[in-house]
């Protein structure tokens, strides 16, 4: 009932939160559009998962750990809950019955407790944020820049995970980027950043960041990791800058001695957008277990013509593979449908949540 009014709801929620509890306003960026969108998606995600306790607890745990970088404390949760429930009551109108109010009150209390517990456990083992120094930058063309950062202190992550990044030019504006490499001895992380229209953080990283600049990193997140695979045969599918975590997975297979047979499909609309193909072909020359195919959907070019889901339907069979998908959300959805129709169980199809930028179209 309230979802069609999403824009009004999130504006009203933050208005009353800041009016009643002005001390929390400095925790948020000046521009609130992205923050309002994240709040709504988180709420809808919680509702979607309400009958899947394991996934719901996992999602809320991720939220709790990730909120540490904002300076969120357990004492903030009652204020947010009060304003959230008052907002839902206002916009639900007569549908906000005592029974519904009691259910949402209990639900919010449960979500808050899971988030608080996850944050407390996380605080016992690692920092909330890490400083990271830019040590290398490489323009890749078509608005993409490769940024390499050296974190201060130990930063443990797994190939395939993503990281939130805050720049000094846009305080409190955190954006998520997948790490494009498996863990290295020197501890550095490489990100593939596309400067998207209107993207203040992406433009700052792609065009302004220079060697020596310091950014801040949130904790690594995501379950699209090699240990999630049940089979030796892997299908890796990357659209656009979705190549970043896929490349990291290829490097991880190499680090482990090439114990998997890997079929990698790269896709883009035009040949110009199909970046880093040469790098992946060189990796295939070094590793006999890796094969690489490139597809272009909107023009006649080298390689295969067609969208990635269309190309996947032509090859295979894939029923003995685990699939790792990364790219625009619609590509992921279509590829999942194709693989399902060709006999791949859904529990063998791995990808990040759609709310991470690597899976969001501009």
Dihedral sign from CA coordinates of 86, 174, 206, 160? negative
Annotation: CATH topology of 130-217: Elongation Factor Tu (Ef-tu); domain 3 (2.40.30)
Domain 3-123 is classified in which CATH homologous superfamily?
Globins (1.10.490.10)
Chain centroid, CA 179 distance in Å:
10
Tell me which residue has tokens 């089979």: 231
> Going residue by residue through the chain (362 aa), what tens digit of pLDDT does each one get?
887 888 899 899 999 999 999 999 998 888 887 788 778 778 888 888 889 889 899 889 988 998 999 888 999 999 999 999 999 999 999 999 999 999 999 999 999 999 999 999 999 999 999 999 999 999 987 788 999 999 999 999 999 999 999 999 999 889 999 999 999 999 999 999 988 888 889 999 999 999 999 999 999 988 899 999 888 899 999 988 889 999 999 999 999 998 899 999 998 877 667 788 889 999 999 999 999 998 887 666 656 777 888 888 888 788 889 999 998 888 899 999 999 888 888 889 999 876 554 443 33
DSSP string spanning 39-96?
HHHHHHHHHHTTT-HHHHHHHHHHHHHHGGGGT--TTHHHHHHHHHHHHHHHHHGGG-
Rounded Cα distance, 357 and 165, in Å? 12
Which DSSP category does 276 fall into?
Answer: T
Pair of tokens at residue 17: 């939160």
Nearest to 243 by CA among 144, 148, 115, 113: 144
Distance CA 262, CA 274 (A): 20
In three-state secondary structure terms, 145 is strand
Residue 163: closest CA among 184, 145, 181:
181
Q: What share of the chain is helix, strand, coil (3-state, %, to 5)?
A: 45, 20, 35
Has domain 228-359 been given CATH number 3.40.50.80?
yes
pTM of this prediction? 0.85
Q: How many whole angstroms separate alpha carbon 196 and alpha carbon 203?
A: 7
Domain ranges of the chain: 3-123, 130-217, 228-359
Q: How many CB atoms lie within 10 A of CB 171?
A: 11
Query: What pLDDT is stored for residue 355 in this prediction?
Result: 53
Rounded CA-CA distance 212/235 in Å is 38
């Amino acid at each position: 009932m309230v979802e069609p009014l999403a824009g009004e709801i999130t504006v009203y929620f933050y208005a009353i939160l800041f009016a009643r509890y002005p001390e929390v306003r400095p925790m948020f960026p000046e521009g609130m559009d992205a923050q309002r969108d994240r709040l709504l998606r988180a709420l809808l995600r919680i509702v979607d998962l309400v009958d899947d306790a394991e996934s719901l607890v996992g999602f809320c745990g991720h939220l709790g750990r990730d909120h540490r970088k904002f300076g969120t404390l357990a004492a903030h949760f009652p204020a947010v809950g009060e304003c959230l429930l008052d907002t839902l009551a206002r916009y639900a109108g007569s549908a906000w019955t005592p029974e519904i109010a009691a259910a949402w009150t209990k639900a919010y209390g449960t979500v808050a407790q899971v988030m608080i517990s996850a944050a407390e456990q996380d605080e016992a083992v690692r920092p909330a944020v890490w400083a990271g120094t830019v040590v290398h930058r490489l323009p890749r063309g078509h608005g993409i820049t490769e940024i390499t950062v050296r974190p201060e202190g130990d930063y443990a992550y797994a190939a395939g995970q993503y990281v939130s990044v805050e720049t000094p030019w846009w305080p409190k504006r955190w954006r998520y980027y997948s790490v494009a490499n498996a863990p290295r001895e020197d501890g550095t992380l490489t990100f593939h950043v596309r400067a998207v229209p209107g993207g203040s953080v992406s433009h700052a990283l792609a065009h302004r960041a220079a060697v020596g600049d310091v950014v801040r990193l949130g904790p690594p997140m995501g379950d699209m990791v090699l240990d999630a695979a049940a089979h030796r045969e892997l299908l890796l599918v990357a659209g656009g800058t979705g190549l970043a975590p896929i490349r990291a997975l290829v490097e991880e297979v190499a680090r482990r001695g090439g114990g998997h047979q890997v079929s990698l499909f790269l896709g883009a609309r035009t040949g110009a957008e199909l970046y880093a193909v040469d790098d992946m072909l060189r990796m295939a020359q070094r590793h006999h277990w890796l094969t690489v195919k490139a597809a272009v959907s909107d023009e006649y070019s080298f390689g295969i013509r067609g969208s990635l889901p269309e190309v996947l339907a032509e090859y295979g069979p894939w029923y003995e593979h685990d699939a790792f998908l990364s790219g625009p959300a619609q590509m992921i959805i279509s590829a999942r449908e194709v693989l399902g129709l060709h006999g791949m169980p859904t529990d063998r199809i791995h990808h990040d949540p759609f709310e991470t930028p690597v899976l969001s179209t501009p």
